């Protein structure tokens, strides 16, 4: 709809006698025209998915995007989200260059690995230009106004996990412990934890997605093509051939393989049962990572037992999936609870799937995309849930994303632009909550209360603070939390006691009868790593009414090497495979 104001002698007369009134009239008419024009040309966003972008669809299939770069604000204006969601800029160039991975710490600060070197690693003997940065909302207003460089001279750093007085970080070719020993906010000591990893075949899918498990181990993805043989300080070696997930102790004392196969896992998250999932390129966008399982890779055979179940067959129209969040907070509408949200760097979208479970077998059911962009340079490479309940998206903003599809020296590759976005639900344009935390200063009693939080990021940061800083002084509040009304508090306090060597043996049989299957699942996991004889309890749990408890009990029994467990395991396998067993 449009309006036309035609000149006339009468209007000219009114304008001459009362120019202020005429100006106000003209402003009202033009404003009405603009609003009504928007209403007729813009679609209303659905409640459960984003609208399709206004950019030609063919652009998103181009290895070299035909458009020019946009400013951060221009890019933001081109985002499409479900009704009620908004996207806000957290950081952009020149504060950061090319973000790769992100992680929150116990103070609510966001740590970001940032690269200028990619796709070529810095030559040996020459200083590298990559950094580890910290973004901070120092005044609690919900805006990250402070950006500092914690460590420089890094070489395509990817995986990052705040830990101790610094962070554990991958930078070619090692996993490092980067420490700030004098408290000035800068790294002053670097310790090699694990490595060197092979980086001779590939530089874009290396060690990424460092995630702390409930058990205190750090889980990670190996990435594509490289073939690494590494050992912990105890001398135990593992070999990772492309793909693979693995775990290691924070002090580097031990490293172990978790799963085999996949092509290029890049991004990982876990649910409240401690079940890990990865995002992957070329194989399947989402994988349920079962310890010891083997997954399809490029033409490689399975391990003799066959490939593990695939959660999905659809590929979201892309072979480039990066970053994964399984949303478990309560701030998004219920339709988005228990949703997988993954980054699609080829189609410039955030894809969404919901989880369907049949026994312990899981399926990812495709939903409408959570986010689309009019700017084909939008490249979401990592997604994390913040302590404020919002999603944080690392945007490797670039004209070119393909590592093999486009020559590495192509002049169109952007080296200096990058953004981080926050996506939150604000149907009434509510002000953002601050991500600010003070877990590093809280008492064991205060931290134990936070194990009941609805936000999994807060819960796990509190658990890590309890075990890493408080240690034995947290035993009493953790023991009390074993009887909490909160299910989360009960199983996380159990892990806290286990990690601090304070879990009473007599509590195990009590926890095995907990009314919550979730608590029993975690106990079944934990019993695979205790020093006491846990076989009798685990054999009882093989007959639990919850299939997740049974599966995890079977996995843990296998770790005990108990001969008396063989017959019960075979009996359980036969009963599960019985044709009348649904």
Q: What is the pLDDT of residues 516-566, one digit of tens each?
A: 999 999 999 999 988 778 899 999 999 999 999 999 999 999 888 778 878
Q: Which of 391, 425, 459 lies at the terminal end of a domain, its last residue?
A: 425
Q: Which of 377, 398, 425 lies at the terminal end of a domain, its last residue?
A: 425
CA distances from 372 to 38, 206, 230 (A): 20, 27, 40
pLDDT at 13: 45
Domain match, 419 and 449 both: no
Domain match, 264 and 115 both: yes
The domain that holds 469 is classified in CATH as: 1.25.10.10
pLDDT at 177: 98
pLDDT at 383: 98
Give the Cα separation of 41 and 51 in Å (integer): 13
CA dihedral 171, 177, 182, 184 (to 10 degrees): 40
Domain match, 132 and 159 both: yes
Q: Does 525 map to a domain?
A: yes
307 alpha-carbon distance from chain centroid: 25
Q: Which of 378, 399, 425 lies at the terminal end of a domain, its last residue?
A: 425
pLDDT at 93: 97
Check residue 259 and give left, alpha or beta (phi > 0: left; psi -120 to 50: alpha).
beta
Domain match, 323 and 388 both: yes
Domain match, 412 and 523 both: no
Domain match, 334 and 194 both: yes
Tokens of 143: 């805006």
Tokens of 54: 């206004």
Domain match, 239 and 140 both: yes
Domain match, 78 and 210 both: yes
How many domains are there within the chain? 2
pLDDT at 26: 32
The domain that holds 328 is classified in CATH as: 2.120.10.30
Q: Does 31 map to a domain?
A: no
pLDDT at 32: 31
Q: Which parts of the chain sit beneath pLDDT 70?
A: 1-42, 577-582
pLDDT at 578: 59
CA distances from 202 to 116, 168, 173, 235 (A): 16, 22, 12, 26
pLDDT at 16: 45
Q: Does 6 map to a domain?
A: no
Q: Does 42 map to a domain?
A: no
Domain match, 209 and 298 both: yes
pLDDT at 42: 59
Q: Does 9 map to a domain?
A: no
DSSP state of 468: I
Q: What is the extent of the structural domain holding 297?
A: 57-425
Q: Does 3 map to a domain?
A: no
Domain match, 408 and 520 both: no
Q: Does 13 map to a domain?
A: no
Please tell me the pTM assigned to this model: 0.91
Domain match, 101 and 237 both: yes
pLDDT at 577: 67
Tokens of 47: 């409640």
Identify the three-state secondary structure at position 37: helix
- In the chain, what's the furthest Cα-to-Cα distance? 104
């Amino acid at each position: 709809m449009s309006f036309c104001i035609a000149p006339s002698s009468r209007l000219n007369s009114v304008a001459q006698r009362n120019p202020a009134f005429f100006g106000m009239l003209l402003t009202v008419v033009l404003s009405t025209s603009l609003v009504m024009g928007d209403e007729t040309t813009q679609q209303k966003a659905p409640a459960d998915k984003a609208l399709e972008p206004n950019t030609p669809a063919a652009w998103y299939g181009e290895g070299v995007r035909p458009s020019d770069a946009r400013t951060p604000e221009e890019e933001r204006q081109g985002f499409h989200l479900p009704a009620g969601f908004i996207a806000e800029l957290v950081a952009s160039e020149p504060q950061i260059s090319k973000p790769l991975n992100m992680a929150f710490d116990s103070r609510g600060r966001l740590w970001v690995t940032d690269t200028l070197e990619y796709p070529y690693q810095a030559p040996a003997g020459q200083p590298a230009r990559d950094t580890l940065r910290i973004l901070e909302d120092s005044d609690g207003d919900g805006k990250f106004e402070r950006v500092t460089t914690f460590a420089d001279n890094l070489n395509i750093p990817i995986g990052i996990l705040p830990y101790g007085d610094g962070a554990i970080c991958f930078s070619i070719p090692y996993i490092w412990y980067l420490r700030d020993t004098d408290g000035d906010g800068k790294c002053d000591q670097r310790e090699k934890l694990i490595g060197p990893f092979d980086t001779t075949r590939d530089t874009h899918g290396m060690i990424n997605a460092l995630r702390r498990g409930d058990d205190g181990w750090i889980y990670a993805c190996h990435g594509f093509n490289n073939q690494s043989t590494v050992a912990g300080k105890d001398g135990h070696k593992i070999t990772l051939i492309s793909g693979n997930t693995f775990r290691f102790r924070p002090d580097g004392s031990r490293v172990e393989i978790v799963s085999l196969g996949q092509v290029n896992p890049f991004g990982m998250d876990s649910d409240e049962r401690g079940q890990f999932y990865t995002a992957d390129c070329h194989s399947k966008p989402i994988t349920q990572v079962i310890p010891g399982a083997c997954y399809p890779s490029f033409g490689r055979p399975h391990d003799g037992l066959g490939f593990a179940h695939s959660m999905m067959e659809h590929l979201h129209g892309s072979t480039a999936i990066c970053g994964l969040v399984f949303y478990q907070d309560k701030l998004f509408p219920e339709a988005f609870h228990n949703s997988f949200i993954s980054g699609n760097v080829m189609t410039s979208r955030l894809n969404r799937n919901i989880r369907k479970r049949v026994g312990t077998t899981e399926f990812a059911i495709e939903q409408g995309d959570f986010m689309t962009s009019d700017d084909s340079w939008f490249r979401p490479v990592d997604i994390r849930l913040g302590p404020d309940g919002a999603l944080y998206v690392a945007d490797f903003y670039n004209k070119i994303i393909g590592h093999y599809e486009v020559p590495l020296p192509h002049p169109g590759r952007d080296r200096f632009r990058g953004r981080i976005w926050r996506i939150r639900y604000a149907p009434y344009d509510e002000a953002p909550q601050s991500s600010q935390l003070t877990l590093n200063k809280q008492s064991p009693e205060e931290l134990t209360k936070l194990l009941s939080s609805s936000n999994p990021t807060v819960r796990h940061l509190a658990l890590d603070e309890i075990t890493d800083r408080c240690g034995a002084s947290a035993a009493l509040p953790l023991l009390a939390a074993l009887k909490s009304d909160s299910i989360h508090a009960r199983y996380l306090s159990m892990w806290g006691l286990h990690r601090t060597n304070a879990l009473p043996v007599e509590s195990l049989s009590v926890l095995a009868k907990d009314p919550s299957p979730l608590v029993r699942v975690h106990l079944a996991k934990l019993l695979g790593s205790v020093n006491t004889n846990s076989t009798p309890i685990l054999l009882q749990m093989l007959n639990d009414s919850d299939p997740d408890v049974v599966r995890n009990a079977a996995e843990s029994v296998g770790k005990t090497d108990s001969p008396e467990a063989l017959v019960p395991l075979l009996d359980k396998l036969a009963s599960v495979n019985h044709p009348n067993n649904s």
